[in-house]
Amino acid sequence: MTTIRSLTSRLQRVPLTRPWAADVTSVGIIATHVVRSDGGEGWGFSWSPQIGAPAVQSLLQHDIAPASVGRSAVPGEAWQSLWEHLHEAGGGGITTIALAGLDLALWDAEARAADTSVSRLIGCRRERVRAYGSGVNLHYPLEELLAQVQRWIDAGFDAVKIKVGKPDLSEDIERVAAVRALLGPDRALMIDANQRWDLDRATTSIDALSRFDLAWIEEPLRADDLIGHTELARRIDVPIAVGENLHTVHRFADFLRAGAAQIVQPNIVRVGGITPLLRIAGLAAAHGVALHPHLLPELSGQLALTLPDTAFEPLVEDVEDAGFGALGALADPSPVTVADGFLTENEHQGLGIRFSPVLGDEAGRDLTT
């Protein structure tokens, strides 16, 4: 049996070209490297935009690395037992984010050993996937927001997503109306409240905004409010999208069973990597619910090519100037290209995601055990 011989990591911060907020000017990357007993190597990463990156690396160093050495290096085989080992520190959140660093590296190593990409190893179901323009833009003045939307139109996107949740609902209405007018009737428009509303405010706001033909409302309530989302789904006609802040297969199952979400958006790192993402995809398909992976297009795009065929085509989120390739953070050419509203893969081995140590490198500590 091929086993895990060692795990190392490097913590670094990658500056953002367009800050997501006054205090979010970079994202934290914990680049991981696994070596197998057969000499095979793989590279992965954990990710946290602003909070918790040092804690993630500490968990990797003190708990995941020593517990993983000697376990199976076959992708997925050790995931559940390691999750159970970490459960005392929490079933999801920092624990699953840290587990992704190992899981992604193991998938990368397996594909590299087979001289192929991870998507081909899993099995591609499509050659390209639609992408939509997205941005962290609630703080943009209206003129700047419209300029961003125009860039997405010029780039060939037929779907875009903007932030809502201004203190004054009239300002949200003005902004969404202006964006819809610029998009015209034939492009899809999604809105994201980033958990800013309570149930009554969400009901009122969505009632007022639904006339702008919304494809979905994302995170209208606190992310873990299952009862609230279930009730909101009963009250409104706009599909509800959740998932970027749900961290386990079990929590996705809760939302799907309750009918609290019509779209799920797992972040592959936050749920713990590719292994649980594939389980969530199976759940979504079984419930007839769309799955659009959250953020990280270099990773999400590859997995979207492999998702089960359902009535809903997966969409990949392309946040403006936030992809690792666009930020100059990758040591190799990007494994994907987004052009004319579609994401396609470029030739590469494994995941094709290895980080250059030159941007914001915090030097990390050797996690080899």
Say what the pLDDT of residue 139 is. Answer: 93
Q: Are 94 and 55 in contact (CB under 8 A)?
A: yes
pLDDT digits over 108-156, tens only? 999 999 999 999 999 999 999 999 999 999 999 999 999 999 999 999 9
Whether 287 is catalytic is: no
Say what the pLDDT of residue 366 is. Answer: 38
DSSP-derived secondary structure for 172-187: HHHHHHHHHHHH-TTS
Cα separation of 5 and 22, whole Å? 42
pLDDT confidence of 365, banded at 50, 70, 90?
Answer: very low
The pTM of the full predicted model, rounded to 2 decimals, is 0.94
Q: Are 234 and 261 in contact (CB under 8 A)?
A: no
pLDDT confidence of 287, banded at 50, 70, 90?
Answer: very high
Whether 163 is catalytic is: yes
Structure tokens given for 268: 């592959």
Backbone angles phi, psi at 161, to 5 degrees: -130, 135
Instruction: Please say if the pLDDT value at position 196 is more than 70.
Output: yes
For 7-16, 149-158, 360-369, which range has the lowest pLDDT when averaged over its residues?
A: 360-369
Q: Are 153 and 178 in contact (CB under 8 A)?
A: no
Instruction: Please say if the pLDDT value at position 369 is more than 60.
Output: no
Which 3 state secondary structure label does DSSP give 144?
helix
- The pairing of strands 263-264 and 240-242 is parallel
Residues 181-201 have a mean pLDDT of 98
Catalytic residue among 33, 161, 163, 348: 163
Cα separation of 230 and 216, whole Å? 15
Cα separation of 319 and 265, whole Å? 15
Residues 200-221 have a mean pLDDT of 98
Catalytic residue among 161, 229, 292, 294: 294
pLDDT digits over 235-260, tens only? 999 999 999 999 999 999 999 999 99
Say what the pLDDT of residue 62 is. Answer: 95
